[in-house]
Structures are given as C-alpha cells and as structure tokens.
Copies of this chain bind each other. A is one copy, B any other.
Amino acid sequence: MTSEVPRMPSENPPPVGFGKHDHKACVADGLAAAEARCAAQGLRLTPVRRKVLEILLQEHRALGAYALLDLLRDAGFGSQPPVAYRALDFLAEHGFVHKIERLNAFVACAHPGETHSPAFMICRLCDAVAEAHSMPAKGALGDAARAAGFQIEKTVVEAEGICPACVDKADA
C-alpha cells in the first residue's frame, strides 16, 4: 500500500522556515540555483530529480520519502521507493536537499549555492523545520574531535523544541 493521504500541496502541517518569505521566489530560486550548479559541475539534473527538488521546494517542509513518492506518482513518475530514494540520494549528496535524521524526512536546502553545515530547528508540535547554519568545528564538539584525533567530515545538528508560532499559540 502507499500512504493514504496523497496530500495536496501545502495542505496539512504548517509552513516551514519560521517567518514569512516570498514562496514563489524561493521555488524558482532553488531550481535555478540547482540548474546552474549542475550545469557548472556537469551533474545531471534529470526530470525525476528536478521534480523531487521542485516538490520539496514547493511544499517547503520536511517530507518523508513515501509522501514524496505519492506526489511523484501523481506527476507521472515511477512510484516505487527506489525512485524517490535515488533522487533524494543524488540531491542530498550535492547539497540541494537535506535529510532530517530526527524525522526520517527530507527538506529542500534553504541556502542553495553556499557550501555549509546545516543546522535545523524542528518544532515538536507542528513539525515545522527551519534551517540555520552551524559551525561544528568551532565549539565543544570541535575541541573534542581535535583532542581525540577524530576527523569530522559531516555533521548532523538538529534542535527539537517549539517554534515561534506554537509558542504564541500556547500563550494564548
């Protein structure tokens, strides 16, 4: 079976990236940045990959691979798990999307183009996700790694808590 609620774009949980933004622009910018970089680096932004990125940019929230798959099927692409996972692997490998380990879900990168170590804030009430930067090598972790002789290649930094909107709701 596939998931029950194919989920219309932006229907259910709340938007992502606390705070307003020009959503149309962020979809267009994200796609443009990906296209530019793929062209520059000889990467192949194939139709499935492009569609997956577009969906994640459009939805603007963390989406599980199977929810994504439903949307892919609606768009006429293959609907078996590897279709989604392979596209996500490609996009994640090149930094166009990030995996939120805590949620087993994926979000479009909010800072396309820049090389960065992302950090995420995840609302435990509404599942909204916002991307920030982290500087893993700077703090206590970096010190510990240097002291131990551990070579950091990649970091996962995810904060769980309550987003501004839900804080406000709770106060009301």
Binding site for B on A (CB under 8 A): 18-19, 101-102, 119, 121, 123-124, 130, 132-136, 138-141, 144-145, 148-164, 167
- Given A18-B149, A19-B148, decide whether A159 and B141 contact each other with a Cβ distance below 8 A: yes
Q: Which residue of B lies closest to A19 (CB)?
A: B148
Q: Which residue of B lies closest to A136 (CB)?
A: B159
Given A119-B141, A133-B144, A145-B159, 11 new contacts (CB under 8 A)? A19-B148, A101-B101, A101-B156, A121-B141, A123-B150, A136-B159, A152-B159, A152-B161, A153-B161, A156-B156, A156-B157
Query: Of B145, B157, B162, which is within 8 A of A153 by CB?
Result: B162
